[in-house]
Amino acid sequence: MFSTDFIRLLEEQLGDPEEVSRLLNALENGSQPTSIRVNPHKCHPAPTGSDVNWCRWGRYLAERPSFTRDGHFHAGGYYVQEASSMFVGHLLEQSLGGEVPEGVRLLDMCAAPGGKSTLYSSIVGHRGVVVANEVIRNRALTLADNITRWGVGNTVVTSNDPSHYASSLEEWFDVVAVDAPCSGEGMFRKSEEARRDWSLDNVRLCAARQRRIVADAWQALRPGGVFIYSTCTFNRAENEEMMEWLCGEFDCEHVDIECPEEWNIAHGRVAEAECFHFYPHRTEGEGLFAAIVRKGGEVGTKRKAPKARKNPFGEVDRKVVGQVSGMLEGDWKFASIGETIYAYPTALWSDIRTLSEQMSVLFAGVKVGELFGKKFKPDHSLALSAHLRVDAFNSYELSAEELHCYLRREELPNVGGLTEGLNLLLWEGQPVGFTKRIGPRTNTLLPKEWRIFI
């Protein structure tokens, strides 16, 4: 059952009782499509299906497989993402005119668990840096795991209050995206908890919190930059009224977005904001609202880095750089944090250093590994990097049984097939991790927190 207040809001918003009835039926009885987004930086097999119109990497699957048992999922070959959520990538690409400028800086303000952040990182590639911020620490750790699995190396995971970005990196970003915490009406058919917790008071509470986040996020955006706002809810208070408030408080400019009618996305305009509603009875996906504007004002040169608050990086010995540089394709800057060696895209090093000097960074670049004397222990992040040179390691193709042993952190049964010492493990050609053979046994290097129990 749905709250009478919720039904009333839908009637006021949609205007057509038949339309409301169809939406409520879809929320109550509609099928829940399964969709994934293929990682374009890892050209290996992934589940196939029909295309998601607004995302060139999106696929609908005919049925939901066991992702937990799929090696390509664990290797970052694809991300399980709700199809409607992929639309923000379309907004970003359209706003950039189809070509990503060199050095673009993108802030994903409310990023966990990482679906939109990994999509943004695929779009900007090594031409730009993505900052994925999540203020709640345990959610930020999950975000870091998903960024690690995606393996592009252009993303910095932070855990800071939005106000820190407003004060420390004012007008520093070219794109700011806010996937705002909301009342979750678009998730009603997936979550009984979302239905149970919904109330008008919660809608008002969410709207007030969203304004605070949006105001801080806006301060971090440079004049001429693009602002993308999204929620997974339907009501006007958290959506259209938020855009009315934004355009009334700040200097906003319109951004043209192509949205073909056959996509069945409800499309309108509020002040200068292009607004889009995904309704489950119209589109194959869950509920979503998305909007986009451009920040007005005089467009000048990019704001310089603020004065450093700290310097977390240490130099890496040249001999060590020579040892680890051959493990990755491309041009990388190597630095140490404590005993751990990290690799950062050279073109993005200045921005990553600035972020690390200002913010609470949980993960960035590629965590290469640690040196114990002359012995090198690779990190799982290295195995999952899209830039890994597979030929730099002794590699071993796993069987299905061996894959599941590895994912459970058990010893591999076919020890004789492994080379003594370090081995890179592959599943259908795609790296999934490292193991070390020590005589008749193996020592799996999969992190304990990544272990599965099936």
What tokens were used for 286? 């869950």
Question: For residue 310, how many other CB atoms are within 10 A of its CB?
Answer: 9
Q: Is 206 a catalytic residue?
A: no
Amino acid identity, position 419: T
How far apart are alpha carbons 207 and 239 in whole angstroms? 9
Q: Which of 55, 182, 206, 232 is catalytic?
A: 232
| Cα angle 158, 155, 326; round to 5 | 125
Number of H helices, E strands in the chain: 14, 22
Q: Please say whether the beta carbons of 304 and 353 come within 8 A.
A: no
Question: CA torsion sign, 160 to 161 to 162 to 166?
Answer: negative
How far apart are alpha carbons 36 and 82 in whole angstroms? 7
What tokens were used for 78? 């694809």
Look at strands 395-397 and 421-427 and give their pairing: parallel
How far apart are alpha carbons 403 and 411 in whole angstroms? 11
Q: Please say whether the beta carbons of 274 and 257 come within 8 A.
A: yes
Q: Could you tell me how far CA 63 lies from the centroid of its own chain? A: 24
- Going across the sheet that includes 430-438, the strands are 395-397, 421-427, 430-438, 441-444
Instruction: Name which of 12, 1, 15, 6 is nearest 201 in CA terms.
Output: 6
Q: Please say whether the beta carbons of 68 and 452 come within 8 A.
A: yes
What tokens were used for 449? 């927190």
Amino acid identity, position 30: G
Place of tokens 């909301």: 182
How far apart are alpha carbons 51 and 73 in whole angstroms? 19
How far apart are alpha carbons 320 and 53 in whole angstroms? 47
- Active site amino acids: 232
